């Protein structure tokens, strides 16, 4: 009875805590959204002000030329006063004075526009900092909420020790949040920005067509087509990072060949891929696990180990699937747990779920060899 009562009390406390955390998250989210809205408005105003600054500078330059000619004219009239009528003298003086006044007004306008531009830029920096902090806080709160309410049953089955289970659970949630944030940022900074650019450029094409004619408009259209092509390539890259479609259509080996060829084009390290055994399809979860395993190992070898040579080997037999990744990079001590590192831990748990075996052989300065074996007829 006492245990039930204590459990009920804990649930009430947890519920109140979750409500408080949820309210805080909403308020932080609102702050972030308000700041984001103001940021977008100010960004548009900044573009307008920058255009106005350019225009006023051009006007200033033209006015300075007129003013200089008027002053020279007035100087000439003053030197040869007797050669000019009263009306000509008056006109030369008034024209010089008029240009001088207009030039002073334009310079004041330019100064005000520059000051407004600088104010907006400073405000944008502060708003960007507020938005980033709000996004970070919301992400951290999501980690807390997910951890408190999430079902960690699968993690409990994978990790016997309770302390390790809690650490792994938090790391998984943090990794999910980081992945969501990364994907959101990639879409916002990539395709979303490109599509916004397409919309702006499409309006510009109409203006160019009216002002300059078909030839210039067609040139702009060709440039726009290149932007759309780049945007499409970026979308395909993001989709590929989430899950290569070729994995479902072609299978593990052809997808790895294609992926490693793509990686080779963007890194300086030499990547060699070999496959042995009869090429065949494996269960979907096994193909995904092996692909992610190779992907993680190759990325680690290139990014962290700074390897110049990376060898990938896949062997398929009747009873097992074997993947080996070897590099000549900096190496590491497998016994030392690096704070914040999730890659190897994620590999190990994925392999364990498939009743496989993961072997890591690495020494500092001696490179790394990672091998995974998965039973084909296992789970």
Q: What is the DSSP string of 289-328?
A: HHHHHHHHHHHHHHHTS--SEEEEEEEE-SSEEEEEEEE-
Least confident of 77-86, 132-141, 294-303: 77-86
Rounded percentage of the chain residues whose pLDDT exceeds 70: 74
Least confident of 23-37, 96-110, 242-256, 340-354: 340-354
Where residue 283 sits, what CATH number does that domain have?
A: 3.30.565.10
* Residue 282 falls in which region: left (phi positive, over 0), alpha (psi -120 to 50) or beta: beta
pLDDT at 84: 73
Q: Are residues 125 and 169 in the same domain?
A: no
Q: CB-based burial of residue 79 (10 Å sphere; 0-12 exposed, 13-18 middle, 19+ buried)? A: exposed
pLDDT at 327: 93
Q: Are residues 145 and 49 in the same domain?
A: yes
Q: Are residues 130 and 27 in the same domain?
A: yes
Query: 210, 242, 274: which is the final residue of a domain?
Result: 242
pLDDT digits 0-9 by tens, 254-276: 888 888 888 888 788 899 999 99
Q: What angle do CA 63, 87, 73 make, to 5 degrees?
A: 35
pLDDT at 182: 61
Where residue 103 sits, what CATH number does that domain have?
A: 1.10.287.2610
- Are residues 259 and 292 in contact, defined by beta-carbon separation less than 8 angstroms? no
pLDDT digits 0-9 by tens, 217-228: 787 777 777 777
Q: How many Cβ atoms sit within 10 Å of the Cβ of residue 220?
A: 18
> CA 49, CA 86: separation in Å to the nearest integer?
45
Domains contained in the chain, number: 3
Taking Cα atoms as reference points, which of 293, 353, 284, 278 lies closest to residue 323? 293
Q: Are residues 187 and 253 in the same domain?
A: no
Strand partners, 321: 316, 374
| Mean per-residue pLDDT of the chain | 76
Q: In the predicted model, is pLDDT for residue 249 greater than 80? A: no
Q: Are residues 142 and 198 in the same domain?
A: no
What is the pLDDT averaged over residues 34-55? 86
Q: Are residues 258 and 366 in the same domain?
A: yes
In eight-state DSSP terms, residue 83 is: G
Strand partners, 323: 314, 372
> CA 119, CA 278: separation in Å to the nearest integer?
67
Query: 242, 270, 300: which is the final residue of a domain?
Result: 242
pLDDT at 312: 94
Query: 206, 224, 242: which is the final residue of a domain?
Result: 242
pLDDT at 160: 43
Q: What is the pTM of this model?
A: 0.43
pLDDT digits 0-9 by tens, 133-189: 878 877 777 776 666 665 444 444 444 444 555 555 556 556 556 656 666 666 666
Print the domain residue range for 92. Answer: 1-150
């Amino acid at each position: 009875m006492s245990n039930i009562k204590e459990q009920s009390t804990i649930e009430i406390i947890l519920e109140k805590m979750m409500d408080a955390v949820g309210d805080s998250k909403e308020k932080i989210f609102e702050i972030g959204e308000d700041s984001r809205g103001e940021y977008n408005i100010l960004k548009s105003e900044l573009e307008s002000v920058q255009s106005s600054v350019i225009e006023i500078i051009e006007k200033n330059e033209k006015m300075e030329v007129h003013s200089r000619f008027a002053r020279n004219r007035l100087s000439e009239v003053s030197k040869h006063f007797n050669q000019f009528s009263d009306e000509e003298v008056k006109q030369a003086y008034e024209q010089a004075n008029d240009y001088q006044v207009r030039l002073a007004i334009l310079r004041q306008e330019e100064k005000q526009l520059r000051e407004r531009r600088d104010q907006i830029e400073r405000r944008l920096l502060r708003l960007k900092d507020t938005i980033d902090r709000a996004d970070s806080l919301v992400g951290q709160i999501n980690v807390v909420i997910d951890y408190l309410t999430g079902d960690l049953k699968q993690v409990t089955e994978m990790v016997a020790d309770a302390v390790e289970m809690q650490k792994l659970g938090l790391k998984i949630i943090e990794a999910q949040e980081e992945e969501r944030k990364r994907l959101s940022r990639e879409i916002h900074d990539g395709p979303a920005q490109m599509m916004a650019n397409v919309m702006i450029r499409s309006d510009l094409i109409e203006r160019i067509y009216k002002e300059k004619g078909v030839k210039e408009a067609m040139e702009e259209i060709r440039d726009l087509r290149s932007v759309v092509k780049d945007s499409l390539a970026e979308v395909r890259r993001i989709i590929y990072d989430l899950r290569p479609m070729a994995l479902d259509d072609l299978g593990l080996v052809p997808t790895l060949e294609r992926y490693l060829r793509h990686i080779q084009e963007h890194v300086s390290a030499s990547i060699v891929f070999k496959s042995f055994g009869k090429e065949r399809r494996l269960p979907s979860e096994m193909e995904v696990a092996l692909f992610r395993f190779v992907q993680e190992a190759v990325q680690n070898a290139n990014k962290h180990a700074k390897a110049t040579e990376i060898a990938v080997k896949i062997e398929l037999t009747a009873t097992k699937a074997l993947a080996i990744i070897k590099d000549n990079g900096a190496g590491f001590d497998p016994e030392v747990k690096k704070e914040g590192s999730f890659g190897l831990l994620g590999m190990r748990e994925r392999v364990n779920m498939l009743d496989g075996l993961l072997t890591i052989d690495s020494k500092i300065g001696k490179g790394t060899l990672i091998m995974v074996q998965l039973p084909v007829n296992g789970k």
